[in-house]
Amino acid sequence: MIGEIVALVERLNLSTHKNILGEHFPEIVALLSIVFGGAFLLFGWRHHDYFLGVTGFLCGGWAGLLLKSQISPSGGVAPMLYLATCSVAGAFVAICWKRFVGILLGGFTVAVLGSVFFPQYFKPGNHTLTAVSLAFLLGGGLGGIFPKFFFVFNSSLIGSVFVTYGVSAAILGKVLGTTARTETQVLIHLCVFLPLLIFGVMYQLTTSQNQPAFEDAPAPAALRPARPLA
């Protein structure tokens, strides 16, 4: 029985993607990026439990591998144990402590935007740690107050990145080729990325106005008046 399964796998020859998809593998990846990014853009808040769980799972696995490399880089415990444990823990934290996730998203967002718009304060040097810490504290405070906005912004940011990559790989890369100037390529990609980001934020905020924010419990049902005693 096992020999038949091995022979079947050998006949399929799944060792490389080109045996199945041929030369169209980049187009398949571009299509998947557009679909995945579009899901983040359109349904990031509507199904935020799912997206938080997936994001926490991936970030937890990444943290587990970093923990493995710091604690026991030479061996001992299998890396898969760190990966599995931290992935499940990351998904659990992301789903159960959404306000804490909002704090992390706010700090991350402000730190990244600060490094983009004020790069002189985030260059390597004596003041880098102070600038990053202040930006993260400011963003963390805002994220704790407005967790919904920062989740919508970051889900739109992720979706815009994936869709822009898909459009670039499937269309822009072939149209522009390798002869276009770098400034022209960056400008065209920005013309795709920025409208997608703005659309994602506006669409999710508009369609979720009547939905409760993180950890907001539904309004209790009205109590029926007591019947008067006879």
> What's the number of domains the chain is made of?
1
Give the separation between CA 207 and CA 185, rounded to whole angstroms: 33
- Domain of 149 in residue numbering reads as 25-42+97-207
Domain-embedded: residue 120: yes
Domain-embedded: residue 61: no
Determine the length of the chain. Answer: 230
Dump the DSSP string for 134-155.
HHHHHHHHHHHH-HHHHHHHHH
Give the separation between CA 32 and CA 36, rounded to whole angstroms: 6
- 16 or 145: which leads in pLDDT: 145
Give the separation between CA 41 and CA 51, rounded to whole angstroms: 11
| pLDDT at residue number 105 | 84
Mean pLDDT of 190-211: 86
Which of 2-11, 165-174, 199-208, 221-230 has the weakest average pLDDT? Answer: 221-230
Domain-embedded: residue 212: no
Domain-embedded: residue 77: no
Tens of pLDDT, residues 89-115: 888 888 888 888 888 888 888 888 888
Q: How confident is the model at residue 222 (pLDDT cuts 50, 70, 90)?
A: low
Give the separation between CA 110 and CA 125, rounded to whole angstroms: 20
| pLDDT at residue number 54 | 81
Q: Does the predicted model carry a pTM greater than 0.85?
A: no
Indicate if the pLDDT at residue 156 is higher than 80.
yes
| pLDDT at residue number 149 | 86
Dump the DSSP string for 147-205.
HHHHHHHHHHHHHHHHHHHHHIIIIIHHHHTTTS-HHHHHHHHHHHHHHHHHHHHHHHH
What's the mean per-residue pLDDT of the chain? 77
Tens of pLDDT, residues 13-72: 554 544 455 566 677 788 888 888 888 888 877 777 887 888 788 888 888 888 877 777
Domain-embedded: residue 225: no
Tens of pLDDT, residues 164-195: 888 888 777 777 666 667 777 778 888 888 89
Domain-embedded: residue 105: yes
Domain-embedded: residue 47: no
| pLDDT at residue number 216 | 46
Domain-embedded: residue 157: yes
| pLDDT at residue number 217 | 44
